[in-house]
Amino acid sequence: MSTSSSSASATPYSSTPATSPAHSVHQKELPADVARRQCDNVIFDIGDVLFTWSAETKTSISGKTLHKILRSATWFEYEKGNIGEQEAYDSVAKEFGLESSEVAAAFQGARDSLAGDARMIAMLHELKEQPGIRLYAMSNISAPDWEVLRHKGRREDWDLFEHVFTSAAARERKPNLGYYRHVLAATGVDAERTAFVDDKLENVLSARSLGLKGVVFQKFEDVERALKIFFRDPIASGEQWLKANAKRMTSETNTGVVLEENFAQLLILEATGDTSLVDYIQYPRLTNFFKNGGVLTTEAFPFDQDSTSIALSVSPHFDDATKHSVMDEILTYRNQDNIVTTYFDRTRPRIDPVVCVNVLTFFYMNGRGDELAATLDWVYDVLKHEAYADGTYYYYGPDTFFYFLSRLIAVSPSVRERFGPLFTSRITKYFGTSGDALALAMRVLGAAVVGLCDKADHERLLSMQEVDGSWPMGWVYKYGASGVLIGNTGLTTALAVNAMKEVEALQRSSS
């Protein structure tokens, strides 16, 4: 029995014909939330994926020998319908020094052991419930073996498939490209929007070479995760996760310490515009990074210009008088180079270009950017000479610099005019380079501000989404002295969702 999987030219109980090219038109007309998913179709292997079987026989033929027979050129010809059942048994018996009757008995035992995988079949039913999804099967299987297999399992399970393709009917077998092309032509599906699940890497590789999204079946959980990612709206899933975790999205260090802090909450608020998701202290004027005193640092931690500028730019509870009062005070915290410092504490005269960018954004949003000319000039030099390459004193990696600078470019036409061309050339260098989920989201968002669609990093970011809809925590800032990193899953997810939306908008406008 050829259990490398694939089915006959038609499902055993359904008269539904193979999909025509017209279906691809139908797929393009699906609602936006459906169109956002990566796939509309999935092609499953049958043997060792949807059905399990045992190679152990009651004959003198070992399981190891049985597998060798299945990999023989003779058996391949049998699966392609070029020789008959008895001829196949006689030929492999001669080739392996066996009795033909023993070969027949061994494969009858394999047929008898066939059993559907309940978890895989349940997942098929879940997939079929989603609008517009089509399921197909594609197996390397002889006509006699398919005749046995098609009567295994329940009718309602086989009816899930639009069509079942077998090597015997196609006169081709995996991993030969002709078999895949036959299936693609018969179904009319878009290869790049079709998942392919098979237990053999060589078969998956061929599928990928034609544009299908290949999944190697090793264990059910991995396939389930991959297909859930392929067949869902990543934006809706991310937004659902944010709502489900409202006011519980705390930050964490790379040493495992949980932090109650305001900064990430404010950034989540800016990204989502939803105050119900976040939990931060609404200070009357200056804002502190920490909510309840310093953690892993001095408990009486000073208010800082970074958190304060973000809060005054994002939180709706500040009036204009308060904003201008704080700007007046910030102007008194500049060093000998006339660059704004980080803390409202003259004993800590530190500078950081990302902090400067956030202060500048606050000033430009309120019509006072010209008052920080020296600070803006320094930020330009940081961009020009790529001084951000290893991150900054308080921020992790170059993508944080790009992201926060893009916020400034977005609010100021004059900054856009001056910085835009250089920013474009600098951020483009990072397209496709390494980065965690937050870095990729920030990179995609930064690029979008200057009209660039960072497709490569968008695709990688999309692949990182977890089954629950979130994106894994990435590092955004750090303790300057110790270098301990700080991240927030909620912030990563909020920015990743926005990155998905921005790329969608750019692609829509370009088309």
Q: What is the mean pLDDT of residues 420-447?
A: 98
Q: Is the pLDDT of residue 340 over 80?
A: yes
Q: What is the mean pLDDT of residues 130-140?
A: 94
pLDDT at 137: 96
What 3-state DSSP class applies to 34? helix
Sign of the C-alpha dihedral computed for residues 451, 454, 459 and 461 taken in this order:
negative
DSSP tag of 17? P
pLDDT at 25: 31
pLDDT at 329: 98
- Report which of residues 432 and 4 the model is more confident about: 432
Q: What is the mean pLDDT of residues 155-182?
A: 96
CATH 1.50.10.20 placement within the chain: 234-510
Task: Characterize the bridge pairing of strands 475-478 and 258-259.
Answer: unpaired
Q: Is the pLDDT of residue 233 over 80?
A: yes
Bridge partners (DSSP) listed for residue 261: 290
Q: For 13-72, what is each residue's pLDDT tens digit?
A: 332 333 333 333 333 455 666 778 889 999 999 988 999 878 777 778 888 898 899 999
State the CATH class of domain 234-510.
mainly alpha
Query: Phi/psi class of residue 238: alpha, beta or left (left: φ > 0; alpha: ψ in -120 to 50)?
Result: alpha
pLDDT at 32: 63
Q: For 255-290, what is each residue's pLDDT tens digit?
A: 999 999 999 999 999 999 999 999 999 999 999 999
CATH 3.40.50.1000 placement within the chain: 22-53+114-230
Token representation of residue 448: 């979008």
Instruction: With beta carbons less than 8 A apart as the criterion, state whether 223 and 455 touch.
Output: no
Q: For 193-209, what is each residue's pLDDT tens digit?
A: 999 999 999 999 999 99
Confirm or reject CATH 3.40.50.1000 for domain 22-53+114-230, answering yes or no: yes
Q: What is the mean pLDDT of residues 435-441?
A: 98
pLDDT at 54: 80
Bridge partners (DSSP) listed for residue 196: 43, 214
Token representation of residue 440: 């990729």
- Taking alpha carbons only, the member of 297, 273, 302, 274 closest to residue 287 is 302
pLDDT at 58: 74
What 3-state DSSP class applies to 195? strand
Token representation of residue 239: 């937004």
Instruction: With beta carbons less than 8 A apart as the criterion, state whether 198 and 49 touch.
Output: yes
Sign of the C-alpha dihedral computed for residues 288, 289, 291 and 297 taken in this order:
negative
- Taking alpha carbons only, the member of 107, 92, 102 closest to residue 148 is 107
pLDDT at 335: 97
Q: What is the mean pLDDT of residues 126-130?
A: 92
Residue 328 identity? D
Task: Characterize the bridge pairing of strands 475-478 and 41-44.
Answer: unpaired
Q: Which H, E and C letters describe 47-106, residue by residue?
A: ECCCEECCCCCCCCCCHHHHHHHHCCHHHHHHHCCCCCHHHHHHHHHHHHCCCHHHHHHH
Residues 6 or more apart whose CB falls under 8 angstroms from that of 68 comprise: 96
Q: For 440-452, what is each residue's pLDDT tens digit?
A: 999 999 999 999 9
Q: Name which of 110-124, 245-259, 420-434 the model is least confident about.
A: 110-124
pLDDT range class, residue 1, cuts 50, 70, 90: very low
